[in-house]
Amino acid sequence: MTGITRRAFLGAAAASVLPRRAQAAGFTYKYANNAPADHPLTLRTREAAEKIKQESHGLLTIEVFPNNQLGGDTDMLSQVRTGAIEFFTLSGLILATLVPVASINGIGFAFRDYGQVWPAVDGELGAFVRAAIGRAGLFAFDRMWDNGYRQITSSTHPINSPEDLRGFKIRVPVSPLWTSMFKAFGASPASINFNEVYSALQTKVVEGQENPLSLIKIAKLYEVQKFCSLTFHMWDGFWMLANQGAWDALPRDLQEIVQRNWNNAALQQRDDIAKLNTSVQGELEKEGMVFNKPDAQAFRAVLKLAGFYTEWREKYGREAWALLEKYAGELA
């Protein structure tokens, strides 16, 4: 843009809504995540940050810190609450340590496929969770980003049936829902943030872990895992969160630019993961991973018998559960 236009823009902005500290230099905010630098989550947030900078004529710079550079998820959640980080993407299941209902999309074997996932999280279920996030003092953007359907990997044996999970030492992210679900199978879940997963597997502190295929590939977990069991046991996605004070400090026009770009980028990132899903199993097989496809119904039956669904229905409350079932069908 020309100097005159830029001056006019800055002048108008300064005269109206921008706080004094932003008038000269604009805003510099941090975005952080737990994903490798070449994961679609990082690539698309980087691209969006660049667009936000351009469209705001340099008034808002978002620095991108991928790969747990600013800490593990639990730590980054604290940082986005205090404002040390302004933007942060976090799995709804981990966010549930602060906003209990945010793990609801991860209920075991709930969503049959993406044809149920996106209408739910873009629709009333997502709106319900977003409102709860807002009440906890964080701002959540409309569109969730895809992590994916989670699959179980192991260095010791494939998981073919629920019995194979008995006593299985499995890393799970830090979240009550994950622990509860794997305990219901009789496994021994260990809560570990993603930044420590590779070494926990390498040193055999745990035998296995569960993650979407795209992450198993991009984070190179195949180097320390042999078997991959396609359990599709839950769908997991990331909320783009903002520190509420930092969000409120942005003038309306900047908020609009950020919202539009984060939300559009989320939709593109969903497509990226969908494309990866068509090729990644073959690539992992080339790396030596051995795949099997267990019968999901057998796992779901164990959870049902263990009272897992009724327990979580009571925890979330009937209203939230009804919204989940509206999209996923009857569960409990």
DSSP string, 280-307: HHHHHHHTT-EEE---HHHHHHHHHHTT
User: What is the nearest approach in angstroms of ligand X2X to the Cβ of residue 212?
Assistant: 7
Task: Please report whether residue 96 would count as binding ligand X2X according to CB under 6 A.
Answer: no
Task: Please report whether residue 173 would count as binding ligand X2X according to CB under 6 A.
Answer: yes
Q: Which residues contact 199 (CB under 8 A, 6 or more apart)?
A: none
User: What is the nearest approach in angstroms of ligand X2X to the Cβ of residue 35?
Assistant: 7
Residues 136-165 that bind ligand X2X (CB under 6 A): 147
Residue number with CB closer to ligand X2X (18 or 70)? 70
Task: Please report whether residue 211 would count as binding ligand X2X according to CB under 6 A.
Answer: yes
* Site map 233..252 versus ligand X2X, x via CB under 6 A: ---x----------------
Rounded to whole angstroms, how far apart are CA atoms 149 and 56? 36
> What does the H/E/C string look like for 204-254?
CCCCEEEECHHHHHHCCHHHCCCEEECCCCCEEEEEEEEEHHHHHCCCHHH
> Dihedral angle at the C-alpha atoms of 67, 70, 75, 81, nearest 10 degrees?
-120
Residue type present at position 116: Q
Residues 257-316 that bind ligand X2X (CB under 6 A): none
User: Which of 91, 105, 180, 243 is in the footprint of ligand X2X by CB under 6 A?
Assistant: 91
- Interface with ligand X2X (CB under 6 A), residue total 9
Residue number with CB closer to ligand X2X (215 or 257)? 215
Residue number with CB closer to ligand X2X (173 or 251)? 173
User: What is the nearest approach in angstroms of ligand X2X to the Cβ of residue 144?
Assistant: 12
Task: Please report whether residue 215 would count as binding ligand X2X according to CB under 6 A.
Answer: yes
Q: Which residue(s) pair with 31 in the sheet?
A: 64, 87
Residue number with CB closer to ligand X2X (90 or 257)? 90
Rounded to whole angstroms, how far apart are CA atoms 265 and 263? 5
Task: Please report whether residue 194 would count as binding ligand X2X according to CB under 6 A.
Answer: yes
* Site map 6..45 versus ligand X2X, x via CB under 6 A: ----------------------------x-----------
User: What is the nearest approach in angstroms of ligand X2X to the Cβ of residue 271?
Assistant: 19
Task: Please report whether residue 88 would count as binding ligand X2X according to CB under 6 A.
Answer: no
Q: Please, are residues 24 and 203 in contact by the beta-carbon 8 Å criterion? A: no
Grouping H, G, I as helix, E, B as strand and the rest as coil, residue 15 is: helix
User: What is the nearest approach in angstroms of ligand X2X to the Cβ of residue 94?
Assistant: 6
User: What is the nearest approach in angstroms of ligand X2X to the Cβ of residue 297?
Assistant: 25
Q: Which residues contact 25 (CB under 8 A, 6 or more apart)?
A: none
Q: Which residues contact 223 (CB under 8 A, 6 or more apart)?
A: 198, 287
DSSP string, 73-126: HHHHHHHHHHTSSSEEEEEHHHHTTTSGGGGGGGSTT---SHHHHHHHHHTHHH
Which residues lie near ligand X2X (CB under 6 A)? 34, 91, 94, 147, 173, 194, 211, 215, 236
